[in-house]
Every structure is written in C-alpha cells, then in structure tokens.
Amino acid sequence: MAARPTMRLDKWLVQARFFKARSVALAEVEAGHVRVNGEKTRKPSASVGEGDTLTFPQGGRIRVIRVLDLPIRRGPATEAQMLYDDLANDVPGPAASGE
C-alpha cells in the first residue's frame, strides 16, 4: 500500500493562502492555535493531506476546513481555493458573537 501524500502543516497553510508568510503560520501553530483532525498540535512539521480537517482562528472567526489537495506552489487565490472545502463558512468567532 502506497503512503498517503502529505506536506508540512505550516507550508500548506501558507500555500493555501490562509497566512501571508510561513513565519506567521509557524507562530500560530507553535502557539497551539491550530487543530488537525480535532487534535491540538504545536508542531509546524505535522503532516497534513487529503481528507484532514484543520481548525484555526483567522480574522475574528474560527475556520474549519477540509484539505482536498496538496499545492504545488503558492499560486493565485482562485487556485488556492481549490485546495480546501470550507466547512464552517458562517461560524462566528468569540469577537463576533456580540455577547
């Protein structure tokens, strides 16, 4: 059985255009703000691949996305949007709840 293709979590987050720089993605992961398949990780080198679910804060809301593909490069936003499925498109973060 062939191994599932994967890539580093921090690299995937940047190439999928969730963060502008790899250093920013690395800091978010190391701070414990990212979950992979429901498990909190502090390892930027954690492997992610097709079918994995990532949860992380971004811009005042919580992003829940499913990895659909691995990028070859950091391309335009339209190309990056083909890499994931947004599972919680309208889930507000704590700052947006108004309570």
Tens-binned pLDDT, residue by residue, of the chain (99 aa): 678 999 999 999 999 999 999 999 999 999 999 999 999 999 999 999 999 999 999 988 999 999 999 999 999 999 999 999 999 765 555 554 444
Residue 94: its pLDDT value, please? 56
Which whole-number Å values give the CA distances from 31 to 21, 44, 74, in the listed order? 16, 10, 24
Does residue 36 form part of some domain?
yes
The secondary element (H helix, E strand) that includes residue 29 is: helix 22-30
Does residue 1 form part of some domain?
no
CB 40 within 8 A of CB 46: no
Does residue 50 form part of some domain?
yes
Residue 88: its pLDDT value, please? 79
Residue 2: its pLDDT value, please? 74
Q: Mean pLDDT of all residues in the chain?
A: 90
- CA-CA distance, 80 to 98, in Å (whole number)? 31
Domain range for residue 40?
7-91
- Tell me how many domains the chain contains: 1
Does residue 40 form part of some domain?
yes
Q: What is the pTM of this model?
A: 0.85
Read off the CATH number of the domain in which 55 is found.
Answer: 3.10.290.10
Does residue 45 form part of some domain?
yes
